[in-house]
Amino acid sequence: MPAFSENDPLNIRLELETVPAGSPASLVARQLVELLTGGELAPGSRLPSERILAEQLGVGRSAVREALAALEILGIVQIRPGSGTYLRGGTSELLPTTLSWGLMLAANRTRELLEVRSALERSAVRLAAERATDTELARLGEYLERQADNLDDADAFIDADVRFHVQIARIAGNEVLADLLQSLRSMLGVWADRGVRTWAASAVAYEEHRRVYDAMLRREPAAAEAEMHEHMDSASARILATEQERAAG
């Protein structure tokens, strides 16, 4: 495992595998993302030069340059002209961005993402049902009321829908879980929003949310999880149907 003390004042040591010949810059970016989020580098650490990275990865400097530019756009690194490339934040801060980058690099994985989201939403609501205060439940109820009042206003309904789920994640009290859900929500956002663009779809989603909320009010974690499971199945079906319509069109 080579050391790069002459290039990096923090003595960063890298573990990189040679990238297969002809691979796009995205594969270089994948390796760098894994390195940067591995927890061994402190925020502000400077990466080795493009030349050293290219030699270590067995690719041209242009591929490294393109990968670093993409990671800068995503907020993972900061490129300072004349100084070098630096890691922006810690692992926890990079988690949502890294997940988004993973989606960009991969083929369409909507169904898999929906399965992960469903599992995380169920975990979140179970924890929330166990930990919620009366004040937190009251706030959650306000978002439910907003949904009921805006069944014929898609944008307002979607806003209240998102806030409802975000509030559940906050009540759960697990920041990593909340970050994961936020990232997944961002990745699926376009199709999720299109899935509730009609009054009928909004009405179904509202009724599902109401049952989740009622179970939380009763302080029944298992029931809340079961209701969320049904909601996620229904919501996932709407999203997949929307995506299929897009592909067909």
Give the per-residue pLDDT at 1: 33
- Tell me, yes or no, if the pTM score tops 0.75: no
Q: Is the model's pLDDT at 243 over the cut of 80?
A: no
Question: Can you state the angle between helices 110-131 and 175-194, rounded to 10 degrees?
Answer: 130
Using alpha carbons, select from 119, 130, 209 the residue that is nearest to residue 173.
Answer: 130
Give the per-residue pLDDT at 3: 37
Average pLDDT of the chain is 80
Give the per-residue pLDDT at 4: 39
Q: Is the model's pLDDT at 140 over the cut of 80?
A: yes
Q: How large is the average pLDDT for residues 91-113?
A: 58
**Angle 97-99-100 from CA coordinates, rounded to 5°:** 65
Confidence band (pLDDT; 50, 70, 90) for 35? confident
Q: How large is the average pLDDT for residues 156-172?
A: 93
Distance from C-alpha of 175 to C-alpha of 152, rounded to nearest angstrom: 33
Q: When comparing pLDDT for 183 and 44, which is higher?
A: 44
Confidence band (pLDDT; 50, 70, 90) for 78? confident
Give the per-residue pLDDT at 93: 53
Q: How large is the average pLDDT for residues 71-91?
A: 77
Confidence band (pLDDT; 50, 70, 90) for 226? very high
pLDDT tens-digit readout, 198-214:
888 899 999 999 999 99
Q: Is the model's pLDDT at 2 over the cut of 60?
A: no
Q: Is the model's pLDDT at 17 over the cut of 70?
A: no
Distance from C-alpha of 75 to C-alpha of 84, rounded to nearest angstrom: 15
Of the listed ranges 20-24, 167-171, 234-238, the least confidently predicted one is 20-24
Using alpha carbons, select from 130, 47, 144, 141 the residue that is nearest to residue 87.
Answer: 47
Confidence band (pLDDT; 50, 70, 90) for 10? very low
Give the per-residue pLDDT at 79: 86
Distance from C-alpha of 222 to C-alpha of 121, rounded to nearest angstrom: 13
Of the listed ranges 21-25, 36-40, 43-47, 124-128, the least confidently predicted one is 21-25
